[in-house]
Homo-oligomer: A and B are copies of this chain.
Amino acid sequence: MTEISLLEAVNLALGQAMEEDAQVLVLGEDVGIDGGVFRATDGLLARFGEQRVLDTPLAETTIAGMSVGLAAQGMRPVAEIQFMGFIYSCVDQMINHASRLRNRTRGRLSCPMVLRAPFGGGIGAPEHHSESMEALFAHMPGLRVVIPSSPARAYGLLLAAIRDPDPVVFLEPKRIYRAIKEEVADDGKALALDCCYRLREGTDVSLISWGAMVMETLAAAETLEANGVSCEVIDVATLNPLDAETLLASVAKTGRAVIIQEAPRHGGFGAQIAALLAERGLLGLRAPVRQVAGYDTIMPLPRLEKSYMPNTESIIAAVSEVLEFD
Nearest-CB residue, chain B, relative to A100 = B298
Whether A186 sits at the interface, judged by CB under 8 Å, is no
Contacts of A271 in B (CB 8 A): 267, 271-272, 274-275
Per-position 1/0 for A261-292, Cβ under 8 A of B: 00110111111111101111011010111110
This chain: copies in complex: 2
Q: A89-B92, A242-B266 are in contact. Are A279 and B290 (CB under 8 A)?
A: yes
Query: Which bracket fits the contact residues of A?
Result: 35 or more
Whether A224 sits at the interface, judged by CB under 8 Å, is no
Which of A2-10, A127-135, A146-154, A195-203 is the contact stretch?
A127-135
User: Are A278 and B272 in contact, with the CB atoms below 8 A?
Assistant: no
Whether A47 sits at the interface, judged by CB under 8 Å, is no
Per-position 1/0 for A114-140, Cβ under 8 A of B: 000000000000011000010110110
Q: Which of A82-126 contact B (CB under 8 A)?
A: 85, 88-89, 91-92, 95-96, 99-100, 103-104
Interface set of A (CB-CB < 8 Å, partner B): 85, 88-89, 91-92, 95-96, 99-100, 103-104, 127-128, 133, 135-136, 138-139, 141-142, 239-242, 263-264, 266-275, 277-280, 282-283, 285, 287-291, 295-298
